């Protein structure tokens, strides 16, 4: 039965290439196929869906390829590598969805949209790289890499939420989604829309022209803006945990079934949500609601249906 509720689902790049994997296309396809089964159930239930996805591991791999082949073929800038990952991950999602929809005898169509996102050239985040990309390295592996690859010494590295060291690149905030009308129109016509991949391709306006800039936008922030601009009813952030927790990882951790924006801000100020992991998701949730959004659900991909039924997930409301 069609309910036509419009839901935006954001899938993390680390769900597409998982910890310990090198990121082959076969690995990415298998993870995507597994992730999308609950999503297909939503489609056959009649939801209108917009799917966004991250690209941190994949765009980081693309950067390594550029650096290792730069004496042989021309290197591409980071904005073009974002476009490439929108295409490569987009086609895997589209193929997996189309095949699953066929099996379910659904006639729903899928459209993947190259998405450009306006950023502010004066955003101070250009000067302070913060977006982790590419593989995780142990301290030992990073030392070795820096001794073998001189360029690795010039990059900025951070410890990413206890999972290892990663290279970080500039990550300006999204200001406007240039393709928002196309996304909205496709969703209104009940296409499944794959858009905003990797947080979108960052562009700035220069003398009335849009030009690409080298950065990777956080996909949770870009997804929040898309969800608000296309008036999604629900913004679902899918990650590695079924619920957001207080005192995460400590003996006294507790799951949160629901929080208001005011509570989310209070917990954020108390340091409950680390910068490199849960922090951006909570900030994105707050910005979507403050931009007129209705409801955010944070949960894991396998709990999509249960979370929509209110059995799990963390709901964030006004
Ligand atoms: N307060 C918290 N509640 C739940 N999970 C948390 C919390 N703080 C940190 N985390 C961790 O953050 C992870 C989500 O961040 P991350 O893996 O970077 O996202 P993504 O799924 O977009 O790649 C969770 O899987 C969990 O391990
Ligand atoms: N662009 C982006 O935010 O990617 P991840 O979800 O992989 O971090």
Contacts of 262-266 with C-beta under 8 Å, sequence gap 24+, read: 264/316
> Is-contact 187 43, C-beta < 8 A?
no
- Residue with CA nearest ligand 2 atom 1: 198
Per-residue model confidence as pLDDT tens digits over 98-150: 999 999 999 999 999 999 999 999 999 999 999 999 999 999 999 999 999 88
On whether ipTM exceeds 0.95, the answer is yes
pLDDT at 236: 97
CA distance linking residue 283 with residue 287, whole number of Å: 6
Residue 163 CB: number of other CB atoms within 10 A? 13
Per-residue model confidence as pLDDT tens digits over 80-99: 999 999 999 999 999 999 99
**Residue ranges of the chain with per-residue pLDDT less than 50:** 1
| 157 Cα: distance to centroid of ligand 1 (angstroms) | 19
> Is-contact 309 38, C-beta < 8 A?
no
pLDDT at 15: 85
CB within 8 A of 316, min separation 6: which ones?
A: 258, 259, 260, 261, 264, 282, 285, 286, 289, 295, 296, 297, 298
Mutate to test the pocket of ligand 1, among 132, 237, 239 (most ligand atoms within 8 A of CB): 239
pLDDT at 20: 84
CA distance linking residue 111 with residue 192, whole number of Å: 6
* Ligand 1 proximity of 273 Cβ (cutoff 6 Å): yes
| 218 Cα: distance to centroid of ligand 1 (angstroms) | 14
- Name the burial class of residue 76, with classes exposed (0-12), middle (13-18) and buried (19+) by CB atoms within 10 angstroms of its CB: middle
199 CA: nearest ligand 2 atom: 1
pLDDT at 2: 59
CA distance linking residue 42 with residue 47, whole number of Å: 6
CA quadruple 235, 236, 237, 243: dihedral sign:
positive
> Is-contact 296 313, C-beta < 8 A?
no
SS3 labels along 46-94: CCEEEEEECCHHHHHHHHHHHHHHCCCCCCCCHHHHHHHHHHHHHHHHH
pLDDT at 222: 98
pLDDT at 1: 47
């Amino acid at each position: 039965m069609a309910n036509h509720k419009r839901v935006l689902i954001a899938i993390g790049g680390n769900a597409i290439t998982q910890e310990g994997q090198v990121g082959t296309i076969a690995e990415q396809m298998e993870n995507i196929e597994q992730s999308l089964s609950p999503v297909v159930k939503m489609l056959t239930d009649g939801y209108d869906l917009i799917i966004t996805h991250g690209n941190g591991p994949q765009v980081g791999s693309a950067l390594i390829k550029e650096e290792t082949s730069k004496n042989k073929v021309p290197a591409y800038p980071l904005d073009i590598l974002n476009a490439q990952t929108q295409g490569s991950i987009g086609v895997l999602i589209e193929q997996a969805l189309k095949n699953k929809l066929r099996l379910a005898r659904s006639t729903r169509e899928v459209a993947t949209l190259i998405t450009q996102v306006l950023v502010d050239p004066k955003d101070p985040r250009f000067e302070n790289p913060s977006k982790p990309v590419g593989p995780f390295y142990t301290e030992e592996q990073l030392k070795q890499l820096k001794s073998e690859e001189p360029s690795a010494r010039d990059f900025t590295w951070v410890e990413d939420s206890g999972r290892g060291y990663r290279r970080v690149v500039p990550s300006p905030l999204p200001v406007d989604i240039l393709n928002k009308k196309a996304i909205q129109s496709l969703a209104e016509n009940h296409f499944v829309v794959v858009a905003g991949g990797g947080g979108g391709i960052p562009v700035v306006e220069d003398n009335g022209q849009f030009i690409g800039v080298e950065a990777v936008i956080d996909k949770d922030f870009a997804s929040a803006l898309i969800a608000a601009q296309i008036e999604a009813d629900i913004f679902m952030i899918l990650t590695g945990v079924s619920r957001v927790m207080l005192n995460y990882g400590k003996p006294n951790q507790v799951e949160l079934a629901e929080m208001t924006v005011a509570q989310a801000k209070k917990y954020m100020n108390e340091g409950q949500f680390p910068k490199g992991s849960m922090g951006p998701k909570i900030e994105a949730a707050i910005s979507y609601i403050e931009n007129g959004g209705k409801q955010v659900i944070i949960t894991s991909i396998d709990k999509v249906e249960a979370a929509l039924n209110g059995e799990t997930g963390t709901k964030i409301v006004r």
